[in-house]
């Protein structure tokens, strides 16, 4: 198996069945339980992580097929001192979560969006976030948090 | 093996757990010597593990204050996304005059003696706990004042509190809560009636927007939910039930399964019922095959090779299309049983100058809470069990486990743990019983994980059903009589299944001289249960759409028609906040009309629609701004929600619940439908059961009317008016009256 780096640490998954979806390797083998199981069929986005900066559904990625990949999970966003990214902070400031279960996936999709588009339009946000279901219906706040994090990163007024 | 704290039991080897947020670090650093202890347990979850510093002092059941000033408040009820882990402690903190930044919240243990009824349901937590929690805060504050008075040697009348500081204004001296907590804990608690409570104008915290206490853990992905629970030596289980609901496992290729990688056990469980319809709130459990492995994936992978012989002789043979046929055949007549009748409806209808009759149909739906059911159970060979359950009803979970396992309740330790959505599904503890029985069978701790397919096939569904409504109006267009024939599903033909049928409602029956409710039951064995605003979430659609049919039939403005139908100012059961108060109702209707600009000229193919509904003690009026094109594509541009639920506890949380209700209501109304064919559920996952997505969200305007009634819950009552408000707008645009949910059945899309 080739090398997988997760949250900037090399991990050894050699003992794990290569057919295992990354989602379950993260959760059960590595104890990274922030990435969530919602549907298992690429419909809900709860399991979203970044692979080389792109948002992917970890329930669909078999670890045996992941080659030389750099994976970032929700646990790997804040820096070593625990400083949150502007998106994570915006999520708290806007009190986005209700049950909170979908939110790791939402934040990972939003992170991928802002990585490649620092100033997304509403349509860009809709397009990037439409693969993530929030059963509790926090969409208004998700969009507001993304806009405010983007504004802040661009030096604008976050409010 | 006993784990007292679920979080201590979580595997600390997780890589992400090596990080401690700055906020938590600061909080920890303030604890001095406790820091090392906390970090060695599980970094990143320290906020809920608030180390019991040996100088911390318990002031009463809910409040504990450490000498460094950290205030721990217990949250008594399960958190399922409705916000009570934050809002209930806010009530304590308000009367305590605590600085919210000093507050750490912990889930209370399950203990009926100390905490009364601990559950999440019926939007009841706030009104049920309101007096108790205010009193707890005030009592704690009172003993702190007494202790400060002793320490400063001044009468307590000269002391004031603010943000965890006690000030003696005449001398300019002050002490913090932490300074006097030890002393305060030694004082006798005052009688509640001797401790004054604040008046609303004195509130500093209540009514503000406070971010959820667990939000930091959520956005950093810390272990928090039921599914995140890990205990040492834990195995992972999947439990496969018959696709045809209620079928019994007779035999399976168990030996073959046991040879699959990682599989430790595979066995049949008989379940506790051999009828199809079960009582989800009780002790029933369906038969199935348990596969227990070293990881979730190994269990799920092995499942693909499972072959089972099912006995379906007593299984459900339900079919939704057959139920619709049966209902349509009888909807024109009155129901078989008269549930309620006052005046003489038939005579009044016959003498009315305008008369309408319409049949409304609504399908079954699934709760689809985001976190599929799961539970960790650790059976001990000494006959005790420890359970980590994301449930809405921890106390009834314990009671049902005691029965199923045949042990005393005091042999069961159940930890309440945050749930990824509830919506009523977790009122039923079938998954908890399954986990416990599997754990006992394999004599090891087990995490049972349902797949989404398991969850959708074996939900306790919101039942489908039918309302045939008839009304008569006089020559001035005033409502005279109302007749409701509700056609409901029933397993035994004697009483409606859980949450099926129709309960007595105040409006409009209470306002009329002639009102009748009759009912017919149709046999169905598909399990049902409460789902967010049960019954109201379907009856509001029928009632509020039908009222719009009536105002339209007599050419009256709908705001005026509704206000007129509500009649004179009247609180139906005065003093009971769970009964309709027409003054409050009319106020929210008028307010929402004003906010939305009711009556303004709308663009082509676009209209406003209005609905009002009273449920769960909430008076809620909503207006939808909708457009529909010729291909029946619906756009909801904006929703206005005006609610009177008394004083607001957490404004952000309350607004979030209203916003979520709008999204939920649109999704259900447009396209969510559970159907069954010969006892099998036709929908298995989100590709067949679409939830509303971000790009379909409307703008949402939420407004709370100021009122000084007892505050009540908002997890449910904003949902029922959503669908009729939108459907009334659609009628105004294209003249098509929507009498069936979901609208996708009628060719509409969003
Ligand atoms: S769990 Fe992967 S998309 Fe739903
Ligand atoms: S917050 Fe509950 S599913 Fe999104």
Summarize pLDDT for B19-35 with one digit per residue, the tens. Answer: 333 233 223 322 222 22
Average pLDDT over residues B173-195: 94
Are B508 and B380 contacting, i.e. CB atoms less than 8 angstroms apart? no
The complex scores an ipTM of 0.97
The architecture of the domain spanning B534-750 is: 2-Layer Sandwich (3.30)
Question: Which of A83, A101, A140 is facing B697, going by the closest CB pair?
Answer: A140
- Where does chain B hold its CATH 3.30.365.10 domain(s)? 12-217, 226-315+367-457, 534-750
Quick one: tokens of B27?
A: 């909080």
Structure confidence by residue, pLDDT tens digits, B575-598: 999 999 999 999 999 999 999 999
CA distance A104 to chain B (A): 6
Confidence of residue B291 (pLDDT cuts 50, 70, 90): very high
Q: Which residues on A lie below 8 Å from B303 (Cβ)?
A: none
Between the CA of A102 and the centroid of ligand 1 the distance, in Å, is 10
Indicate the pairing of strand B465-473 with strand B354-362: antiparallel
Q: What CATH class has A86-153?
A: mainly alpha
Q: Which residues on A lie below 8 Å from B421 (Cβ)?
A: 98-99, 101, 135-136
Indicate the pairing of strand A4-6 with strand A9-11: antiparallel
Indicate the pairing of strand B235-241 with strand B159-162: unpaired
Q: Does domain B226-315+367-457 bear CATH number 3.30.365.10?
A: yes
Please identify among residues 271-310 of chain B the ones whose CB lies closer than 8 Å to any CB of chain A.
295-298, 301
Chain B interface, best mutation among A7, A15, A34, A102, by max B CB count within 10 A: A34
Confidence of residue B5 (pLDDT cuts 50, 70, 90): very low
Whole-prediction pTM: 0.93
CA distance B27 to chain A (A): 13
For the ranges B85-89, B374-378, B381-385, B501-505, which has the lowest average pLDDT? B501-505
Question: Which of B370, B660, B686 is facing A101, going by the closest CB pair?
Answer: B370
The architecture of the domain spanning B12-217 is: 2-Layer Sandwich (3.30)
SS3 B40: helix
Cα dihedral B356, B357, B358, B364 sign? positive
Confidence of residue B16 (pLDDT cuts 50, 70, 90): very low
Query: Would you kindly state where each structural domain of chain A is located, as residue ranges?
Result: 4-76, 86-153
Indicate the pairing of strand B71-75 with strand B103-107: parallel
- Report the candidate in B467, B551, B458 with the shortest Cα–Cα distance to residue B505: B467
CB within 8 A of B154, min separation 6: which ones? B168, B170, B171
- Report the candidate in A38, A15, A29 with the shortest Cα–Cα distance to residue A134: A38
Q: Which pLDDT score, from 0 to 100, does residue B24 have?
A: 34
Cα dihedral A149, A150, A152, A153 sign? positive
Chain A interface, best mutation among B42, B297, B672, B690, by max A CB count within 10 A: B297
CB within 8 A of B48, min separation 6: which ones? B7, B104, B105, B106, B107, B214, B217
Average pLDDT over residues B635-640: 98
Average pLDDT over residues B647-672: 98
Asked if A135 and B296 come within 8 Å (Cβ–Cβ), the reply is no
- Report the candidate in A53, A55, A49 with the shortest Cα–Cα distance to residue A34: A49
Q: Which pLDDT score, from 0 to 100, does residue B26 have?
A: 28
Quick one: tokens of B91?
A: 């009530």
Percent above pLDDT 90 for chain A: 90
Superfamily of domain A4-76 in CATH is Beta-grasp domain (3.10.20.30)
Quote the Cα angle for B149-B151-B152, to 5°: 65
Q: Which pLDDT score, from 0 to 100, does residue A76 have?
A: 98
CB within 8 A of B273, min separation 6: which ones? B246, B284, B285, B286
Asked if A135 and B700 come within 8 Å (Cβ–Cβ), the reply is no
CB within 8 A of B107, min separation 6: which ones? B48, B74, B75, B79, B85, B415, B416, B417
Q: What is the 3-state secondary structure (H, E, C) of chain A?
A: CCCEEECCEEECCCCCCCCCEHHHHHHHHCCCCCCCCCCCCCCCCCCEEEECCEEEECCCCEHHHCCCEEEECHHHCCCCCCCCCHHHHHHHHCCCCCCCCCHHHHHHHHHHHHHHCCCCCHHHHHHHHCCCCCCCCCHHHHHHHHHHHHHHHCCCCCC
What Rg, from alpha-carbon coordinates, does chain B have? 28
Q: Which residues on B lie below 8 Å from A49 (Cβ)?
A: none
Low-confidence ranges of chain A (pLDDT < 50): 157-159
**Which residues sit with their C-beta closer than 6 Å to ligand 1?**
A 37-40, 42-47, 57, 59
SS3 B740: strand
Q: Tokens 């314990």 correspond to what residue?
A: B398
| Smallest CA–CA distance from A143 into chain B, residue | B694
Q: Cα–Cα distance between B452 and B474 in angstroms, integer?
A: 52
Sheet holding B740-741, edge to edge: B337-342, B514-523, B479-490, B465-473, B354-362, B740-741
- Name the region of A52 (left: φ>0; alpha: ψ -120 to 50; beta: rest): left
Q: Which ligand is nearest to the CA of A24?
A: 1
Structure confidence by residue, pLDDT tens digits, B433-468: 999 999 999 999 999 999 999 999 999 999 999 999
Q: Which pLDDT score, from 0 to 100, does residue B14 have?
A: 29
Quick one: tokens of B730?
A: 């659609």
Q: Which residues on A lie below 8 Å from B225 (Cβ)?
A: 36, 100-101
Flag whether pLDDT at B40 surpasses 60: no
CB within 8 A of B367, min separation 6: which ones? B421, B422, B423, B424, B425, B459, B460, B461, B462, B531
Please identify among residues 193-212 of chain B the ones whose CB lies closer than 8 Å to any CB of chain A.
209-212
Confidence of residue B280 (pLDDT cuts 50, 70, 90): low
Q: Which pLDDT score, from 0 to 100, does residue B616 have?
A: 94
């Amino acid at each position: 198996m080739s090398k997988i780096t997760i949250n900037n640490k090399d991990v050894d998954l050699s003992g794990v069945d290569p057919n295992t979806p990354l989602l379950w390797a993260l959760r059960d083998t590595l104890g990274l339980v922030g990435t969530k199981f919602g549907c298992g069929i690429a419909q809900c986005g709860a399991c979203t992580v970044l692979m080389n900066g792109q948002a992917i559904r970890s329930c669909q990625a078999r670890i045996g097929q992941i080659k030389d990949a750099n994976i970032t999970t929700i646990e790997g966003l804040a820096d070593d001192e625990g400083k949150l990214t502007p998106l994570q902070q915006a999520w708290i400031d806007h009190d986005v979560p209700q049950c909170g279960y979908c939110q790791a996936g939402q934040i990972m999709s939003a992170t991928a969006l802002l990585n490649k588009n620092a100033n997304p339009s509403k349509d860009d946000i809709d397009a990037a976030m439409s693969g993530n279901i929030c059963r509790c219906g926090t969409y208004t706040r998700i969009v507001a948090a993304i806009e405010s994090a983007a504004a802040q990163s661009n030096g604008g007024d976050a409010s | 093996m006993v784990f007292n704290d679920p979080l201590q039991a979580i595997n600390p080897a997780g890589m992400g757990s090596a990080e401690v947020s700055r906020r938590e670090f600061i909080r920890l650093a303030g604890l001095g010597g406790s820091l090392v202890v906390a970090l060695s347990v599980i970094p990143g979850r320290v906020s809920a593990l608030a180390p019991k510093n040996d100088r911390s002092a318990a002031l009463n059941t809910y409040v504990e204050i450490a000498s460094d000033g950290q205030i721990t408040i217990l949250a008594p009820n399960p958190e399922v996304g409705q916000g009570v882990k934050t809002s209930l402690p806010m009530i304590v903190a308000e009367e305590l005059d605590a600085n919210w930044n000093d507050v750490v919240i912990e889930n209370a243990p399950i203990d009926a003696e100390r905490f009364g009824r601990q559950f999440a349901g019926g939007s009841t937590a706030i009104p049920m706990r309101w007096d108790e929690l205010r009193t707890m805060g005030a009592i704690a504050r009172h003993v702190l004042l007494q202790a400060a008075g002793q320490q400063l040697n001044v009468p307590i009348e000269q002391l004031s509190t603010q943000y965890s500081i006690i000030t003696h204004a005449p001398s300019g001296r002050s002490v913090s809560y932490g300074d006097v907590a030890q002393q305060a804990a030694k004082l006798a608690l005052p009688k509640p009636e001797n401790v004054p409570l604040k008046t609303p104008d004195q509130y500093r915290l209540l009514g503000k927007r406070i971010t959820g206490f667990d939000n930091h853990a959520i956005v950093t992905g810390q272990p928090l939910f039921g599914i995140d629970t890990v205990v040492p030596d834990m195995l992972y289980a999947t439990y496969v039930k018959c696709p045809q609901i209620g079928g019994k496992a007779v035999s399976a290729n168990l030996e073959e399964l046991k040879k699959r990688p990682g599989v430790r056990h595979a066995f049949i469980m008989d379940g506790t019922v051999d009828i199809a319809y079960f009582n989800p709130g009780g002790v029933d459990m369906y038969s199935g095959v348990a596969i227990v492995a070293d990881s979730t994936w190994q269990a799920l992978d092995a499942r693909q090779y499972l072959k089972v012989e099912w006995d379906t002789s007593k299984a459900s043979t339900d079919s939704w299309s057959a139920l619709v046929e049966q209902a349509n055949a009888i909807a024109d007549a009155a129901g078989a049983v008269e549930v309620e009748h006052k005046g003489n409806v038939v005579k009044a209808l016959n003498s009315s100058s305008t008369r309408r009759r319409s049949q409304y149909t609504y399908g079954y739906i699934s709760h689809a809470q985001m976190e599929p059911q799961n539970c960790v159970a650790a059976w001990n060979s000494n006959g005790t069990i420890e359970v980590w359950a994301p449930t809405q009803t921890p106390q009834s979970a314990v009671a049902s486990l005691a029965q199923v396992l045949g042990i005393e309740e005091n042999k069961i330790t159940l930890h309440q743990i945050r749930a990824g959505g509830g919506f009523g599904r977790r009122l039923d503890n079938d998954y908890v019983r399954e986990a416990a029985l599997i754990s006992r069978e394999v004599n090891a701790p087990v995490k049972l994980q349902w797949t989404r397919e398991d969850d959708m096939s074996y939900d306790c569904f919101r039942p489908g059903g039918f309302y045939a409504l008839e009304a008569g109006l006089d020559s001035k267009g005033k409502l005279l009589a109302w007749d409701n024939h509700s056609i409901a599903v029933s397993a035994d033909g004697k009483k409606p299944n859980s949450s099926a049928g129709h309960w007595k409602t105040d409006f409009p029956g209470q306002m009329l001289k002639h009102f009748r409710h009759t009912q017919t039951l149709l046999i169905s064995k598909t399990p049902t249960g409460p789902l967010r605003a049960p019954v109201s979430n379907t009856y509001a659609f029928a009632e509020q759409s039908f009222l719009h049919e009536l105002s339209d039939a007599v050419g009256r403005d709908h705001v005026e028609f509704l206000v007129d139908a509500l009649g004179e100012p009247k609180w139906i059961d005065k003093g009971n906040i769970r009964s309709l108060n027409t003054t409050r109702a009319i106020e929210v209707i008028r307010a929402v009309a004003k906010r939305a600009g009711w009556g303004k000229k709308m663009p082509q193919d676009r209209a406003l629609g209005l609905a009002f509904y009273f449920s769960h003690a909430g008076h809620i009026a909503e207006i939808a701004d909708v457009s529909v094109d010729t291909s029946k594509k619906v756009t909801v541009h904006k929703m206005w929600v005006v609610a009177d639920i008394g004083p607001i506890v957490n404004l952000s949380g309350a607004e979030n619940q209203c916003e979520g209700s709008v999204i939920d209501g649109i999704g259900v109304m447009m396209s969510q439908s559970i159907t069954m064919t010969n006892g099998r559920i036709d929908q298995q996952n989100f590709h067949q059961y679409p939830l509303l997505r971000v790009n379909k969200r409307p703008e949402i305007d939420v407004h709370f009317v100021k009122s000084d009634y007892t505050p009540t819950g908002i997890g449910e009552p904003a949902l029922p008016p959503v669908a009729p408000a939108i459907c009334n707008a659609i009628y105004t645009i294209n003249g098509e009256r929507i009498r069936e949910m979901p609208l996708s059945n009628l060719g509409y899309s969003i």
